């Protein structure tokens, strides 16, 4: 009964979040579906200290899906990995409910430190393609991480993070990412800074023109 329940839950998650899905049968072909079934079994074995068998199952899943989830990771309900190739979730990572990861995401550690060394991702977080979350800190609920971002420190709830290194560009955004699945329309802090620099440059150019005109008037007066 537990296996059937898990299968139904995984099917529902994919149907909810992937508009490309046309039938429930297609779910059987999804890497996210396959890897989560492998992970659930491997994690149970890991908790019972059957470490070799747990890793054997997880490595089979890597070969089949291109997604590497360490059996020691703690993952809640409703994880959806879209496409999924290159996704890595480390041993001490904690992933809450209804989290969405895109291809190339890494939930990694920073070195050989012991204990909790991977991030905690709270409920309803969306991490866009190629983003790297590195270290033992928390990404707060309902937050969104932009594509290609490298996040190295704590993210409060209801935030949007972009950049390398990642920094918060929007706070108290209360929309739930999994309901919109939008990883494109995010603020661009580099573009904002460049626009501000352009404004400053325009003001400086205007001031230089004014000073040159003043100098010319002074020359005429002196002559």
Compute the distance between CA of residue 15 and CA of residue 33 in angstroms, rounded to an integer: 11
Q: pTM for the whole thing?
A: 0.75
**CATH for 22:** 2.160.10.10
- Do 152 and 69 share a structural domain? yes
**What is the residue-wise DSSP string for 145-202?**
E-TT-EE-S-B-TT-EEETTTTEEEE----S-HHHH---SS---HHHHHHHHHHHHHH
Between the alpha carbon of residue 159 and those of residues 16, 47, 94, 202, 205, the distances in Å are 23, 33, 19, 33, 37
For 91, other C-beta atoms within 10 Å of its C-beta total: 15
- Do 118 and 214 share a structural domain? no
**What are 156's strand-pairing partners?**
none
Query: Tell me, what's the pLDDT at 110?
Result: 82
Tens of pLDDT, residues 94-126: 999 999 999 999 999 987 677 899 999 999 999
- Do 119 and 216 share a structural domain? no
Query: Tell me, what's the pLDDT at 187?
Result: 64
- Do 130 and 43 share a structural domain? yes
- Do 50 and 19 share a structural domain? yes
Compute the distance between CA of residue 178 and CA of residue 97 in angstroms, rounded to an integer: 11
- Do 12 and 56 share a structural domain? yes
Query: Tell me, what's the pLDDT at 3?
Result: 67
Query: Tell me, what's the pLDDT at 182?
Result: 56
Tens of pLDDT, residues 3-28: 677 677 777 788 777 777 777 788 88
Compute the distance between CA of residue 112 and CA of residue 119 in angstroms, rounded to an integer: 15
Domain of residue 44, residue span: 2-183
The rounded Cα 12 to chain-centroid distance in angstroms is: 22
- Do 193 and 178 share a structural domain? no
Element (DSSP H or E) covering residue 5 = helix 2-17
- Do 105 and 198 share a structural domain? no
- Do 199 and 144 share a structural domain? no
Query: Tell me, what's the pLDDT at 179?
Result: 53
| pLDDT averaged per 10 residues, the chain (length 223) | 70 78 81 91 95 95 94 93 91 94 93 84 94 94 92 92 85 62 61 80 88 82 72
- Do 124 and 174 share a structural domain? yes
- Do 163 and 139 share a structural domain? yes
- Do 87 and 53 share a structural domain? yes
- How many independent structural domains does the chain possess? 2
Question: Residue 163: left if φ>0, alpha if ψ -120 to 50, beta else—which one?
Answer: left
């Amino acid at each position: 009964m537990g296996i059937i329940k898990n299968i139904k839950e995984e099917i529902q998650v994919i149907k909810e979040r992937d508009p490309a899905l046309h039938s429930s049968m297609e779910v059987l072909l999804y890497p996210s579906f396959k890897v989560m079934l492998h992970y659930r079994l491997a994690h149970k074995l890991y908790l019972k200290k059957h470490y070799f068998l747990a890793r054997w199952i997880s490595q089979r899943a890597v070969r089949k899906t291109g997604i590497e989830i360490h059996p020691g990771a703690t993952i809640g309900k409703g994880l959806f990995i879209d496409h999924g190739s290159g996704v890595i979730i480390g041993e001490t990572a904690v992933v809450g409910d209804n989290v969405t990861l895109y291809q190339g995401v890494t939930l990694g550690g920073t070195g050989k430190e012991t204990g909790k060394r991977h991030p905690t991702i709270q409920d309803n977080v969306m991490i866009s393609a190629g983003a790297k979350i590195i270290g033992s800190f928390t990404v707060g609920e309902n937050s969104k991480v932009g594509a290609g971002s490298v996040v190295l420190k704590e993210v409060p709830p209801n935030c949007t993070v972009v950049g390398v290194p990642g920094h918060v560009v929007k706070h108290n955004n209360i929309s739930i990412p999994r309901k919109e699945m939008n990883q494109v329309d995010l603020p661009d802090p580099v573009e904002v800074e460049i626009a501000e620099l352009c404004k400053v440059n325009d003001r400086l150019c205007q001031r230089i023109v004014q000073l040159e005109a003043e100098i010319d008037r002074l020359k005429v007066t002196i002559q």
